[in-house]
Structure 1
């Protein structure tokens, strides 16, 4: 009798665990499922690809730089695929980003050249993941996921001027810069 009660409780816990898991797709699952497929290219860049050794940083910039762990980039090249496939993949990403978990920080661009949106997971003072999604009509789209610990939106914005002064490891950026040619 006690054994069957224990089994019932374990079974109930397992059913609850499996049914309560979020079944909605995420950018992470989309990235993993597509990074090796034709038309896609992926890049994982550690923060060390930006050499800030000879750059004077404010305390805010140091905190922001140290809060970032890595950058994941996934591109989908329009020229390498069928137009319908491109529309399908673009719609998949747009659907994922419509989820209320992704908070919008800003958007821009135009219908002629392309558009971009910046979203994040977490809260504005403690961002878990910063997402930049850009769509260039004649090129394709790009998803950049900036991952880190305790990232702060305002402090991350202070890195803009720092990036203008920093050196980049060109070897790690080759595939990414090809997207913009």
Structure 2
């Protein structure tokens, strides 16, 4: 009897592991897989990049700012020798972001560049925002905004109020220099 129960438990465990495993690559694994690859750069951007101490923020904007835990950036630098790799890698990211769990906030085209903003969550709360931008001149970048119970509407208002704060350009120097 004990042997039968053990076999049943092992069988259930094996089935659970097989069903739980997915061949789909997540954005997080894409970041990890490419963090030290040629033509890529990764930067963890502190939330302190924008100083809102002396800014006149609304309560909603303050809540949105406090909900953000960290920002992760992954960039691919395009040059004359890696155009094919650029297209392949850009397609990989686009494929990951086509997953149904990413809810689209909007796509924008400006100055020869495209920008896509998506999030994971529901209409009221999000755990992750993704900004994916690409340019045939410079390459592409993916910014992950991670936090707890972030409100999409409040974060949009916070983004609109970025001019109220003081941006510390030195914390973006690594990203800017990478794309030069």
* Residue 97 of structure 2: aligned partner: 97
CA–CA separation in structure 2 for the residues paired with 1:159 and 1:81: 39
User: For the Cα contact (< 8 Å) 2:56–2:164, is it kept in 1?
Assistant: no
How far, CA to CA, are the matches of 1:34 and 1:43 in structure 2? 12
Report the alpha carbon displacement of residue 70 of structure 1 after superposing the two structures with TM. Answer: 0.8
What is the SS of the residue equivalent to 1:18? helix
How far apart are residue 86 of structure 1 and its match? 1.1
Shift of 1:162: 2.8
Contact 2:103/2:120, CA 8 A, preserved across alignment:
yes
Aligned residue pairs, count = 179
Detail structure 1 runs of 4+ shifted over 6 Å in the superposition: none
Equivalence map 1:4-43=2 (5 Å): 4-21=3-20, 22-43=22-43
Give the TM-score taking structure 1 as reference length: 0.91
Cα offset, 1:169, TM superposition: 2.9
The answer for unaligned runs of 5 or more in structure 1 is none
Paired position in structure 2 for 1:169: 168
RMSD across aligned positions (CA):
1.7
CA distances 1:109-133 after superposition (whole Å, capped 9, x unpaired): 05x7121111111112111110000
CA separation of 1:35/1:94 partners in 2, compared to 1, >3 Å: closer, same or farther? same
TM-score by length of structure 2 reads 0.92
Specify whether residues 72 and 81 from structure 1 end up closer, same or farther in structure 2 by C-alpha distance, changes over 3 A only: farther
Post-superposition offset of 1:37:
0.5
Question: In the TM superposition, what are the counterparts of 1:1-181 in structure 2 within 5 Å?
Answer: 1-2=1-2, 4-21=3-20, 22-79=22-79, 81-109=81-109, 113-178=112-177, 181=180
Identify which range, 169-178 or 65-74, moves more after superposition.
169-178
SS in 1 for 2:18: helix
- How far off its partner does 1:179 sit? 5.1
- 1:105/1:118 contact within 8 Å kept: yes
- C-alpha displacement at 1:75, in angstroms? 0.4
What whole-Å deviation, never above 9, does each CA across 1:145-177 have from its counterpart, x for those lacking one? 000111111100111343112123333211123
